[in-house]
Chain A
Amino acid sequence: MPTRPLVTRYEQDLRLFEDRWAQAGLALWVLVALALPFVASDRWLTTANLALIAVVGAVGLMILTGFAGQISLGHAAFLALGAYTTAVLGERLELPFWLAMPCAGAVAAAVGLAVGPFALRLRGLYLAIVTLGILFLTSHLLHSLPELTHGVSGMAVRMYAGGSDAAGEALRFSTPWRLGPVTLGFDRKLYYLFLLLAAGAAWLGKNLAHSNSGRAMMAVRDQDLAASVLGVHPARSKVLAFGVSSFLTGVAGSMFAYQQQYITIEPPFDLNLSVQYIAMIVLGGVGTIFGAVAGALLFVCLAPLMETVGGWIPFVADLSSHQRSTLLFAVGVCVLLVVEPLGLLGLWLRVKRTFAAWPFRY
């Protein structure tokens, strides 16, 4: 393992990828990510798309819960708002995706900013209950506006690319692209779009983590009285966390709608989904963007992985594929958290420490 470079300027200390080794690692990841759609089967490409959606949603929740310390059970509500905004805008206005996605984020952010002030008076479990209420309210609202959302029967999500063809029909995103011998179908195009969005969300989260606004959130999380004595406005920090978090979550909801192509209210936008997102950030390690990204990727990929692995284990192989993945998933998560309470972040820190000290043990 190489030694760390000598830092001689403060700007160097602020870089995301501080030395050539980190940059090389990044390049490797980018290559793998770019090549994936051409290597993976359809099943794994779908899984990858779902994982990238989860990354954006988990970064959103990490900013709210991990940075600002505000526990939310209403995450699914913001996802639902994003998804339905996208679907309605597509159906009514034929809005292209690159306009509909920011709109979805904005609608979710507006609701997030409206909920934020509740967090000024409530904390911990009490806030969790209020956000749970937001989830029920949202679900009720979506059910009671059938002229927009088509109620329980759900609605199709049309993804427009913007512009129209010779016949005057609006262009669909699903039209495959042919670049010489390479064909980019709907899933592959979606994958590259989602990859960009997931990277963008992680970048925003990382920026927040090492900037003044993000530090203020963490100060409010750890000691809100001391934070206010230091000049941090606790209400502003909490409301900012709610706003940024719900914007990203709305975008994640929008991505989900496009990926599913047909959405209903419940499932998927129920308490179970909120809890899944909390599980992702705990699994990854609360308080860091690394935790959000790693947790989301692992959480989404673990179930199909376990379905495959389960086939090789005696007795477990006799179960149905759904039972297999549920059983092994549950066992895997429990083992991970017992072995390393800090989640994947803890494992990663251990690996890093081992290599930093190599060939010595510490």
Chain B
Amino acid sequence: MKGAELELRGVELSFAGVRALRGVDLTVARGSLQAVIGPNGAGKTSLFNCISGLYRPQSGTLHLDGRDLTRLPPHRSAGLGIARMFQNIVLFEQLTVLENMLLGRHHLFESRWWQDLLWTRAARRAEVRHRERVEQVIDFLHLERYRKTPAGILPYGVQKRVELGRAVCMEPRLLLLDEPTAGLNQEETEDMARYLLDVKEELGISMLLIEHDLGFVMDLAERVAVLDFGLLIAEGTPVEVADDPAVVEAYTGMGDRDD
């Protein structure tokens, strides 16, 4: 097995008595696609919020490529290489697709604020250089015709793609995908699957995926982790997990567990 990109050890998170995550251990291998599934309220999105720094776990550690993320604010985690697609699309609606994607490269810009303000040669060069990289992503995701359209007026499926593009523009090590196919039709879901595989294979970005469409998960993911009430109840290849009685119990309430 290749080295670990992301390593979670004993992550605990609770909100005034509700234990959202109870000692979760999880490892995402470098360059792999790891899925997290589980019924509603299992703590999947809370887990993502811990990784991207929006929540601070009460105990446990998070490491990205050996570097400690546990106490970092979101913008620092982003700088270290964590990108994210949100469950309900969070684009900057009044900004164009291009501006949204350039914002993904915000932490990579070399120009300082006074250079931006005076529009110096350094600011202009940074703008052009990052525009070139953004154009590659636009090309990759076939977003050419929407380049200068405000993101808020695009169709839902395209907005999802722009959000993926914005995350890819960050040149992350790890991409967190919170239900990338929610609300997409069959064709758009298949497109999204192809784009995700392309991003993984061609750009070598590791992925952590939350998804309710189990067919999608079984096809794409190399390993699957199952959360239930904040507890990691199973982890393994898709086939192993699908046959795990604890998983069947969690989803249907009709397993043959003895407890």
Contact = CB atoms under 8 A, between A and B. Distances in A.
Given A14-B127, A211-B123, A212-B126, A229 B106 contact: no
A287 interface: yes
B131 interface: yes
B78 A228 contact: yes
Contact of B128 (A10, A212, A230): A10
Contacts of B27: none
Contacts of A231: 75, 78-79, 106-107, 170
A215 B73 CA distance: 20
8 contacts: A11-B124, A213-B117, A218-B99, A227-B92, A229-B54, A230-B103, A231-B75, A231-B78
A321 interface: no
A222 B117 contact: no
B92 A218 contact: yes
B170 A207 contact: no
A214 interface: yes
A223 interface: yes
A322 interface: no
Interface in B68-88: 73-75, 78-79, 83-84, 86
Contact of B86 (A222, A226, A227, A240): A226
Contacts of B113: 213, 240
Nearest to B104: A230
Nearest to B111: A212
Looking at chain B's contact residues, the main secondary structure is: helix
Contacts of B106: 212, 215-216, 219, 230-232
A230 B109 contact: no
Nearest to A214: B116
Contacts of A287: 94
A120 interface: no
Given A218-B94, A232-B103, A240-B113, A211 B119 contact: yes
Given A226-B90, A228-B73, A215 B102 contact: yes
A244 B107 CA distance: 21
B132 interface: yes
Nearest to B99: A215
Given A211-B116, A211-B127, A232-B75, A222 B103 contact: no
B73 to A, nearest CB: 7
Nearest to B148: A13
Interface centre among A10, A218, A234, A240, by most B CB within 10 Å? A10
B18 interface: no
Nearest to B176: A229
What interface size band does chain A fall in? 20 to 34
B124 to A, nearest CB: 7
B127 A212 contact: yes
Contacts of B198: none
Given A211-B123, A216-B106, A229 B74 contact: yes
A287 B95 CA distance: 11
Contacts of B102: 212, 215
Given A14-B128, A218-B92, A232-B103, A213 B116 contact: yes
B52 interface: yes
A204 interface: yes
Contacts of B119: 207, 211
A222 B127 contact: no
Contacts of B107: 230-232
Contacts of A14: 124, 127-128
Interface string A196-209: 00000000100110
A13 B123 CA distance: 14
B44 interface: no
Nearest to A208: B117
Nearest to A203: B119
A335 interface: no
A233 interface: yes
B213 interface: no
Contact of A216 (B52, B84, B103, B118): B103
A233 to B, nearest CB: 5
A34 interface: no
A99 interface: no
B93 interface: yes
